[in-house]
């Protein structure tokens, strides 16, 4: 992607915002999916300072490709082929034209995926030259030790990959997903800065993109994107509401100009 950088206080700040529309297990019909994808494809043509990535369910990925969207899968398995009924491999996604894969989403972790499984998935995605979007974050019970929790999640993956690998981080406090609650933007900024410093000092990853996710909407997106270390947003429910998501994109685009 074309990225514009400028110096500010403590490091290099990314002016280009990345917004990911995660449809989750929605919508229920191809007609609805087509309508959403048509709308966002048209909208993306108006954006000069936003990279828009659309993450529909697997069955709509081909449709998203036909619409010319930048596409992400919402998950994948850690083998390229084999007797794994119901799974989708990173090789299949690559051959379909997928560029990104979301991994370690809080909803997947809640269903039992642990750091070991997520690390295997990230490695498989990177080996297929796709970009991994790794989600990290704490539960409500873990807030008091969130930095240790996030370090453990990051260390599991980054100890197995190299600084040349293509990876984006999404910080999503697990207690904020689908609840209507969201992290205080100033606190989120501190966590994003912590993540960047940790990955730089411990693993040599410089200028890595870190996005915020967790009950993002058009009313709070501005307060997140004005923070120096928040490079964009992973948007869930709001990405299914056309006008609201268009507002999010317009705000992101205006802040980046």
Q: Is 95 left (phi over 0), alpha (psi -120 to 50) or beta?
A: alpha
192 classed as catalytic? no
d(CA 131, CA 126): 6
CA 123 to chain centre: 17
Please give the torsion angle defined by the CA atoms of residues 58, 61, 62 and 68, in that order, rounded to the nearest 10 degrees. Answer: 180
The residue among 103, 92, 105, 85 whose CA lies nearest residue 62 is: 92
Catalytic entry in 30, 42, 138, 172: 172
Structure tokens given for 76: 């994948």
Are 95 and 80 in contact, with CB atoms under 8 Å apart?
no
C-alpha distance from residue 202 to each of 114, 133, 151, 189, 197 (Å): 22, 19, 10, 20, 8
Catalytic entry in 105, 107, 138, 189: 105
160 classed as catalytic? no
Structure tokens given for 2: 């074309």
C-alpha distance from residue 56 to each of 20, 32, 64 (Å): 10, 11, 8
Active site residues: 105, 172
């Amino acid at each position: 992607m074309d990225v514009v950088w400028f110096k500010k206080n403590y490091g290099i700040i990314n002016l280009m915002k990345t917004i990911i529309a995660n449809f989750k297990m929605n919508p229920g019909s191809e007609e609805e999916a087509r309508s959403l994808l048509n709308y966002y494809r048209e909208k993306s043509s108006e954006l000069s300072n936003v990279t828009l990535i659309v993450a529909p369910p697997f069955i709509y990925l081909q449709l998203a490709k036909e619409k010319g969207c930048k596409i992400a899968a919402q998950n994948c398995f850690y083998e390229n082929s084999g007797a794994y009924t119901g799974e989708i491999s990173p090789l299949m996604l690559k051959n379909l034209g997928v560029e990104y894969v979301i991994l370690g989403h809080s909803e997947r972790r809640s269903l039992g995926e642990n750091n070991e499984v997520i690390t295997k998935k990230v490695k498989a995605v990177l080996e297929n030259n796709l970009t991994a979007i790794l989600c990290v974050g704490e539960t409500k019970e873990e807030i008091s030790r969130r930095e240790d929790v996030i370090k453990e999640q990051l260390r599991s993956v980054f100890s197995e990959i190299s600084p040349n690998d293509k990876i984006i981080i999404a910080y999503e406090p697990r207690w904020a997903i689908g609840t209507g609650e969201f992290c205080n933007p100033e606190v989120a900024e501190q966590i994003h800065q912590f993540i960047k410093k940790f990955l730089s000092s411990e693993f040599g990853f410089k200028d890595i993109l870190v996005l915020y996710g967790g009950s993002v909407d058009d009313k709070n997106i501005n307060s997140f994107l004005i923070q120096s270390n928040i490079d964009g947003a992973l948007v869930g429910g709001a990405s299914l509401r056309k006008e609201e998501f268009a507002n999010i994109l317009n705000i992101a685009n205006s802040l980046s100009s």
